[in-house]
Amino acid sequence: MPETELLRRTFKVTGSDFDRAGEVSTEVKSLLIEIGVDSTSARRVARASFEAEMNQVMYADKGTVELIVTDSEVQMTFQDEGQGIEDIELAMQPGYSTSTDWMRAMGFGLGMGLPNIKEISDEFHIESTPGEGTLLKFTVKMDSA
C-alpha cells in the first residue's frame, strides 16, 4: 500500500548557535506528540533528530530540517551547507570525531552522533560533498503502524 503523506514541515538551523541548538528537535517532538504519534516513536525521532541537529550546529554554516509524517512512518531530512564529511565510513565508526575540545567539554562531539542515528532509526542514508555540505535522511517506523 502506498504511503499517504499526512504532514510536512520545514525548519531552519543556524550553525554554531549552541544556545538554540536542540530547539528544532524539541519542536518536532512536541508536534509529533500533538498529532498523536505514539510516545516511543516520537522519542526515537527526537533523539535521532537531536544528534543530526547537533551535527549541523557543530559543523555547518546553516541547515534545513524537513519532517514528513506518513500514515506509517516519520521521515526526517537534514541538509546543510558546511564543511561536509571527508570519509563517511570513518565518520560512521563509534567514537570517531573531528570535534574540538570545547565541544567535548559541553558533552557533544563524542563520536556517537551518526552511529546513534543509525542505531535508533529504521532506515538511514547519508551523502556528503566535502567543502559543500551533507545530506542525511532517516526514517522511524511507528509502533502502531
Partner 1 sequence: MENRPHTVAFDKEKCVGCVDCTKACPTRAIRVKDGVADAIWELCIDCGECVRVCRYDAAISLTSSPTELEKFKYKIAMPSPVLYGQFGRHVHPDKVLQALKRIGFDDVYEETWMCEMVSAAIDTYLTECKGPWPRISTSCPAVMRLIAIRYPDLVEHLIPILAPRELAARDLKRKKAAELDIPEEDIGIFHITPCSAKAEAINDPLEVTYSHLNGAISIREIFGPISKALKGIDKVDITYSYSPIGMSWAMAGGEITGMRNQNVLAVHGAPQTLEVLDRIDSRQFRNVDFLEIMLCPDGCISGPLTVAGRYEAQHTMTLHIQNVASQSRVKEEKVRNLFQEHYFAFEREIKTRPVQPLAPTLKEGAAKAKEKLAILERLPKKDCAACGAPDCKTFADDVVRGHAQISECVFVKIEELKKEKKTPKPRATQAKSSAKAEKN
Task: Check binding of 89 to partner 1 (CB under 8 A).
Answer: no
In terms of DSSP bridges, do strands 5-14 and 60-70 run parallel, antiparallel, or are they unpaired? antiparallel
Q: Side-chain half-sphere of 8: how many Cα atoms within 13 Å?
A: 3
Task: Check binding of 43 to partner 1 (CB under 8 A).
Answer: yes
Q: How far is the CB of 86 from partner 1 (least distance, A)?
A: 27
Task: Check binding of 39 to partner 1 (CB under 8 A).
Answer: yes
Task: Check binding of 62 to partner 1 (CB under 8 A).
Answer: no
Task: Check binding of 6 to partner 1 (CB under 8 A).
Answer: yes
Which neighbouring-strand residues pair with 13?
A: 63
Q: Which span sits near partner 1 by CB under 8 A: 32-40, 80-88, 122-130, 133-141?
A: 32-40
Task: Check binding of 22 to partner 1 (CB under 8 A).
Answer: yes
Q: Among 45, 28, 16, which Cα is nearest to 106's?
A: 16
| Identified binder of partner 1 from the candidate list 1, 2, 89, 107, rule CB under 8 A | 107
Q: Which span sits near partner 1 by CB under 8 A: 21-29, 58-66, 117-125, 129-137?
A: 21-29
C-alpha cell at 90: 570513518
Which neighbouring-strand residues pair with 80?
A: 63
Distance CA 8, CA 132 (A): 26
Task: Check binding of 127 to partner 1 (CB under 8 A).
Answer: no
CA-to-CA separations, 66 to 8, 105, 107, 135, 138, in angstroms, rounded: 7, 29, 26, 11, 11
C-alpha cell at 41: 516513536
Point out which residues bind partner 1 (CB under 8 A).
4, 6-7, 21-22, 25-26, 29, 31, 33-37, 39, 43, 46-47, 50, 54, 69, 71, 106-107, 142, 144
